[in-house]
Structure formats: structure tokens, C-alpha cells
Chain A
Amino acid sequence: MKALLIRDLTLAFRAGGGFGLALAFFLLVAVIVPLGVGPLTEILGRIAPGILWVGALLACLLSLDRMFALDYEDGSLDLLATSPMPMEGVVGVKALAHWLVTGLPLTALSPLLGLMLNLPGPGYPWLILSLLLGTPALSIIGAFGAALVVGVKRGGLLLSLLVLPLYLPTLIFGAEVVRRGALGLPVQTPLLLLAAITAGSLGLLPYAAAAAIRICLR
């Protein structure tokens, strides 16, 4: 398990691994939206929670199709499936690696983008906390989607179509935490619901994703 995590992280950081793409995309969203919406700080501050969460979600989506497809093409997935490692563990490790190279850096970068979008002061801790709690769900839900389209050539667009609806509850509660936090309202309910979605996804989706991969390899 550890070996797989280290290999995936190494691959992500080596040339062509795609680390930083998601971050650059996230940054791009924060630049593009004000250019489209206009520079009024008041409006930007109001929509900042939503933009930051939508940006993080799309950035996560960007690198999902590589998660299993590359290993499928070069035969590694066959070899992992016949190895003593349980497929659920493989899925979990892959999702963890995805989170470490996208979700976690996105969370770290988010306060800076919040600044650029004029997010009100009280919102920052909730922004970081909600992303920290919510991005693991994005990674594991994404792993499930990627597992479904493993055998499909050029499955990128299909993957987005499958995964985006599954992302909606996470998005709604995550953005709600930040919006309420920014307005100084109590955030407990959406925060707990967000945590519940993450916990539930982490607990159950590895089994569904592993089943999907086994089906694809048949």
C-alpha cells in the first residue's frame, strides 16, 4: 500500500505527471471570474464562497481521468488486481494520492484566492476547514467515477457527466459553510452534513469503485 502511494506521488511530481495543473486551473478560475463579472468588490465578496468551491471542484475533476486509465493502459491494473493487495485498498490509496496532489494544495492556496475575490474576513477559517473536510469526498467520489470509465476510450467527458451530479451535495454544503461563515452566521449544520458526506463516501465508495474495476478488467 505504502509502495503504491509513494509510486503514485513520484509519478505525479515527475515530468508530465500533472502536478500543479489543478492548482494553475484553480488560480485561473479566480482570475477569470472577476474579469467576467466585473471588479465590484461587494459583488465579488458575495459570490466568492461559491466561486472558490466551484473552482476547487472543477480543478479536482481535471485530473480524475488519469487516476486508473494510465494504469489500465500499461497493464499495471491487471498486475495490481492479481497481486495480494485488495482492490479496495488500491482505490483508497489512489484517491489518497489524488487528494494529496490536488485537494490538499488547493486548500492551502484557497485563502490567497479568497483574498483576490474579496472574501469577507470571518470566512477564511471556514473556507479552509470546509475544503479540508470536503475535498477528500471529491477525490473518492471521483475515484468511483474514474473506475466506471476505466475501459472507455476517451472517457474524460463521460467522466465529468457521471461525476458532477455526484459532487452536488458536497458542493452545496461546502459552499454553504463558507457563505454562512463569511456572514458570521452559525455554520454547524452544513459543516456536520459535509463531514457526514465525506465520512460516508470514504467508508462505502471504495467498495463500489473496486467492484467497478474488477468488472472492467474481466
Chain B
Amino acid sequence: MSDPQNWRAHRLVAENLSVARGGLAVLEGIDLNLASGAALVLRGVNGIGKTSLLRTLAGLQPPFVGVLQVPPEDLTYAGHADGLKSVLSVQENLSFWAQVAGQTGTGRAMAAMDLTTLAHRRAADLSAGQKRRLGLARLLVTGRWLWLLDEPTVSLDSASAALFVSVLRAHLGQGGSAVIASHIDLGLPEAEVMELTRYRALHDAPSRGGFDEAFT
């Protein structure tokens, strides 16, 4: 179970990991070793496979090749969509995800992401930036060790982005970890940066199912 007391022992390990999209490897030979309290920023042009890699780490898709070790049930994923229900209020959305994660209490998360004054507003009536902040507040209420974030600062203004980075830093300080796909510089100098271009799968990397061989 997720108790920050145990986080110090957690580790995300990947060996020779390949990631596929549509049955074709897009990234290969990735080795990861993420300790407690560390953050990793994934860089690379659009379409290189950042999202596929994050979804693989999240366990949503199986590794194409390689071994992946993640502490079970101690991660949370934030994709492009925030998983919000527009007819539910900020408070209702947040407490739902807290309960799903087996946690209680949403006050701290709302305060951290500056949502307290919006608590009873319906998600439908939030601006894009406010929605994103709500989506990121969800990370806090789940109380998981590893955050897998796909472009977390999209549609955030610079003040909100800075707020998010401070929240992220607090998470790391507690022993939490994060893998973040991001175009822009987050202002998180302590994070290790991984340039994915180096791992781009070669043109003739094998695809699934043995359709690489000509038939005649």
C-alpha cells in the first residue's frame, strides 16, 4: 500500500525496454533506473513515442521487448485527458479519485493547486487551465509514489506552471518520483533529462508477427 514511509525503498527499473505503437517498435534499448525522490524528463519531437513509453510504464500496454519493474499499484498516470466529469463539481471530481485510490481528504490537494475557491463549481464551468489544475490535483489525492505525466503544463499559465513545479518538488522531497514528458523546460534543474531521439527504433527493427520476410 502507498505510505510515504515505504517510498524510500521504491525503484522503477527498465532493462532493454522497447515500446511499440501499432505493432511496430518506435523506441528501443531503453534502460531506466529511477530511485525514490528522483524525477526524469522525457524529451523528443512529436510522434517519437513519449506517450507510448509513458503508457507502457503505466502498465496500460505491455512492453514490446524487455523487462519492466514497477512497484505494483503505486503509480498514477495523467494523460492528455484529465478524467473529469463536467457535471460534477471540483470537490466531487477530486473526492471520487481519492476514494478510488483508497484515500480520503481533498482539502490539501485543492489548497496546493489553488482550487479551494472553486470547490463547488462544476467542472464544465472551469477554464482550460483550471481544468488542468484540477487534473493535477488528482495526483496529490491518489497518494501514489510514482507520477507518470504526459505534458502536464499544457494550457497552464506561467504562474500555474510554477505552482505545479513546486507541488512536484514537494512530492519528490517526500520520497516520491516522477516521469514527465514535456516539450518545454519545466524549471526543474534537479531532474534528469532523457533525450528519446537516441532510442528511436531503427528503420529495420523487427515488427510483430513475422511480416518482415518477403514471401517469394
Contact = CB atoms under 8 A, between A and B. Distances in A.
Contact between A and B in the complex (any CB pair below 8 Å): yes
Interface of A: 2-4, 7, 10-11, 14-17, 71, 73-76, 78-85, 217-218
A1 B21 CA distance: 32
A78 B79 CA distance: 8
Contacts of B80: 75
Contact of B87 (A2, A3, A14, A80): A14
13 contacts: A3-B99, A7-B88, A11-B87, A11-B88, A17-B87, A74-B84, A75-B82, A76-B85, A78-B79, A82-B59, A83-B142, A217-B61, A218-B55
Interface in B63-91: 73, 75-77, 79-85, 87-88
B38 interface: no
B96 interface: yes
Given A74-B81, A75-B81, A78-B77, A83 B87 contact: no
Contact of A75 (B83, B92, B100): B83
A83 B96 CA distance: 12
Contacts of B61: 217-218
B159 interface: no
A76 B95 CA distance: 14
A175 B64 CA distance: 49
B16 to A, nearest CB: 20
A75 B60 CA distance: 12
A78 B142 CA distance: 14
B81 A7 contact: no
A71 to B, nearest CB: 8
Contacts of A80: 100
Nearest to B138: A79
B60 A7 contact: no
A81 B81 contact: no
Nearest to B99: A3
A218 B56 CA distance: 9
Contact of B96 (A7, A15, A73, A74): A7
B199 interface: no
B83 A7 contact: no
